[in-house]
Structure 1
Amino acid sequence: MKRIVFFDIDGTLTRGVTSGAYLAGLLGHGRAMEEAEAAYARGEIDNDEVCRIDAAGYAGRSRDELFCLLEDMPLVEGVRRAVEAVHAAGAEAHIASLAWGVVGEFLCAQYGFDGYVGSELEVADGVCTGGVARALESEGKCVYARELCAARGIDPSACIAVGDSRSDIPLFELVGTSVAFNASEEAERAATHVYRGDDIAEAIAAVL
């Protein structure tokens, strides 16, 4: 049976920090990003506003520069093994995240994920302008999943989603199997499986 496993990034693949906060800290606007993410978690602003605040700090940076910064981003255990297990089961591993697409692109290059969707920084002449090309919201993950499944001839109910927060819940509701990985109570209530631990490969092994 064909299927796709969708992985969130922040709080799921990352350990102890979001990719946005990690990069913002290195780029010099860490405090502003921390405050924006906290406001988003409280439901006070949407991801469009978080992206607008964050993107300003990327002005003048190239993709290669950002890839270099991402090399030391802390991740949970077992990311490569999780992707390998998905492939061994004959499935595809995709990233569906509100994080910047450059982070998804980096993870595809480094760990073998098959594709990604995320928010997008505005780029001109190979460098970030400080603007936002696209701010993805939760439903955007579902749009990506539906389009990908349609292109592959896969029923979304055959697929798996792994995430940790409220932005993952719409995708949890779309697919047949969902894993709340070290997740919020809200995400755990929406998931078919709950896993708490350090190794995402173990969480994936339980549902493949």
Structure 2
Amino acid sequence: MIKLCVFDFDSTLMDGETITILSSAMGKDKEVGEITARAMAGELDFYESLVRRVRLIEGLELSRALEITSNLPFIAGAKEIIAYLKSKNIKTVVFSGGFHIATDSAQKKLGFDLNFANELHHKNGILTGNVGGEMMFGDSKGKMLLRLKDFMGLSSDEVACVGDGANDLSMFKEAGTGIAFCANKILKEAATHIIDIKDLNEIKKII
């Protein structure tokens, strides 16, 4: 029986990539999007790609970033699947290689239990182009899930993960159920289940 379900955020619960949406305010969305695509396909080291992308939004006003991230679009079924899992007493957690300014806002709207992400550094109300936090590396999600499993006393068979890109691979290795959601080929190959319909309600057929 599943007791914990971990979701990726960008392009899994949220419809798009937070860093690309933020960078559009700076006119850098095309450049950022290209780096993101390479990272999610496993062609570029995640840490390197994260640092390069965040540098491109240096100078963005924090107030504008907060406004953008409080109005992000969600994937169809996002609120419903969290409610469904919680009704089954399954803890819901988000691991994001993105940013707390997005996941913290989403937690209030969607109702998941906990989230781990990164912090965009800012000074005098302006983003500095620097980033730090809990999900900086390609294996961060797997390491954090291992800690959560130990803390909660769970086996891998009691854990499900939902994601779409290469930086989700490490957490899939720690879960008995790995759901590749509208995912890249590299993650589909590591998954126990594949969903190609852009509706998170499809997870109800699995869990």
TM superposition score normalised by structure 2: 0.86
- Extract unaligned runs of 5+ from structure 1: none
> 2:140, 2:170 within 8 Å by CA — same for their partners in 1?
no
SS in 1 for 2:145: helix
- Give the residue type in structure 1 aligned to 2:181: F
Shift of 1:13: 2.0
> 1:52, 1:132 within 8 Å by CA — same for their partners in 2?
yes
**Greater percentage in helix:** 1
**1:48 pairs with 2:52:** no
Greater mean alpha carbon deviation, residues 140-149 or residues 44-53: 44-53
Partner of 1:172: 172
Change (3 A) 1:186 1:108: same
Shift of 1:44: 4.8
SS in 2 for 1:110: helix
1:56-106 deviation line (CA, Å, top 9, x unaligned): 3144633x5433212442321011111101110101111112122322222
> 1:2, 1:154 within 8 Å by CA — same for their partners in 2?
no
> 1:5, 1:91 within 8 Å by CA — same for their partners in 2?
yes
Shift of 1:174: 0.9
SS in 2 for 1:99: strand
- Give the residue type in structure 1 aligned to 2:186: E
Shift of 1:41: 4.3
Partner of 2:151: 151
- Give the residue type in structure 1 aligned to 2:146: R
SS in 1 for 2:118: strand
1:149-200 deviation line (CA, Å, top 9, x unaligned): 2222222331100011222122112111111111122212211111121210
Partner of 1:161: 161
Change (3 A) 1:139 1:29: same
- Give the residue type in structure 1 aligned to 2:190: A
> 1:32, 1:53 within 8 Å by CA — same for their partners in 2?
no
Shift of 1:127: 5.4
RMSD: 2.3
Partner of 1:91: 90
Kindly tell me the number of residue pairs found equivalent between the two proteins.
205
Change (3 A) 1:173 1:36: same
SS in 1 for 2:139: helix
Which runs of structure 2 are paired with 1:1-208 in the superposition (5 Å)? 3-15=3-15, 17-41=16-40, 43-56=42-55, 57-59=57-59, 61-62=61-62, 65-124=64-123, 128-134=127-133, 136-203=136-203, 205-208=204-207
1:5-58 deviation line (CA, Å, top 9, x unaligned): 11112222233x322111211243223312322442464532222222332314
Change (3 A) 1:92 1:178: same
Q: Hey, what's the Cα distance between the residues in 1 that align with 2:110 and 2:61?
A: 23
- Extract unaligned runs of 5+ from structure 2: none
